[in-house]
Amino acid sequence: EADIYQTPRYLVIGTGKKITLECSQTMGHDKMYWYQQDPGMELHLIHYSYGVNSTEKGDLSSESTVSRIRTEHFPLTLESARPSHTSQYLCASSTPGTGRYEQYFGPGTRLTVT
Amino acid sequence: DAKTTQPPSMDCAEGRAANLPCNHSTISGNEYVYWYRQIHSQGPQYIIHGLKNNETNEMASLIITEDRKSSTLILPHATLRDTAVYYCIVIGAGSARQLTFGSGTQLTVLP
């Protein structure tokens, strides 16, 4: 059983608010990822990190930002939430080693911006 | 990374084996076949992966054809909790930084 946690699980917030979605893993994984997924749609990578102080944008453009100050923690921040940010946000981490692509996903945060 | 093709949906009776096919005819020699599933409203879950040989773990078996152009994920005794979207992903051992999930196969296990 993978140990990756996301909080909150559900968040309803008004337009213009600043929010931070938390993601933590206790497996010591160097690689961590943020995906965005609308209901019934594909997952899209929005951010990834290969280690502390390493962050990169994914293929889907996002107004969110991330930080990686500690190995186990990879929070995602939206400075000013808008209704277009309404979606599910999934955090994942992956095992080390070349050729290993087993990613372990958290339960997700379902964000609704009103 | 090679593109994969999966049927959009399948049904399976509870207790029977579920066989989910995947075509990856453009797969290259250093690309692995990975299977994930996503139960409604949850994060994807890793199931199994393979390169050339058939693989088995506590969740499933993966059968890869000799030419590696297709594979089959087998859930030996499907339960209602196996109802999910199953994704077949082909990914190289090199610089890939993400998993690209296509539309997958919606497996519905019927009582």
Rounded Cα–Cα distance for residues B5 and B103 (Å): 9
CB distance B41–A45 less than 8 Å? no
Backbone torsions φ then ψ of B25, nearest 5 degrees: -70, -20
Which residues have a Cβ under 8 Å from the Cβ of B41 and sit 6 or more positions away? A88, A108, A110
Contact of B101 with B87, CB cutoff 8 Å: yes
> Pick from B32, B41, B101: which is nearest to A43 by CB?
B101
- Best mutation site among A3, A30, A101 for testing chain B: the one with the most B CBs within 10 Å? A101
Rounded Cα–Cα distance for residues B74 and A58 (Å): 32
Q: Does A56 touch chain B (CB under 8 A)?
A: yes
Buried b (16+ CB within 10 A) or exposed e, B65-98: eeebebbbbbbeebeeebbbbbbbbbbbeeebeb
Backbone torsions φ then ψ of A83, nearest 5 degrees: -55, -30
> Pick from A45, A90, A101: which is nearest to B34 by CB?
A101
pLDDT in tens, B22-58: 999 989 888 889 999 999 878 899 999 999 989 999 9
Handedness of CA A80, A108, B102, A54 (dihedral sign): positive
Strand partners, A48: A33, A56
What does each of the 114 residues of chain A score in pLDDT, given as a tens digit?
A: 558 999 999 999 999 999 999 999 998 888 999 999 998 788 888 999 989 999 999 878 889 999 999 999 999 999 999 999 999 999 999 876 655 678 899 999 999 999
Backbone torsions φ then ψ of B80, nearest 5 degrees: -60, -30
Q: Distance from first CA to last CA of chain B, Å, rounded?
A: 37
- Give residue A95's pLDDT: 75
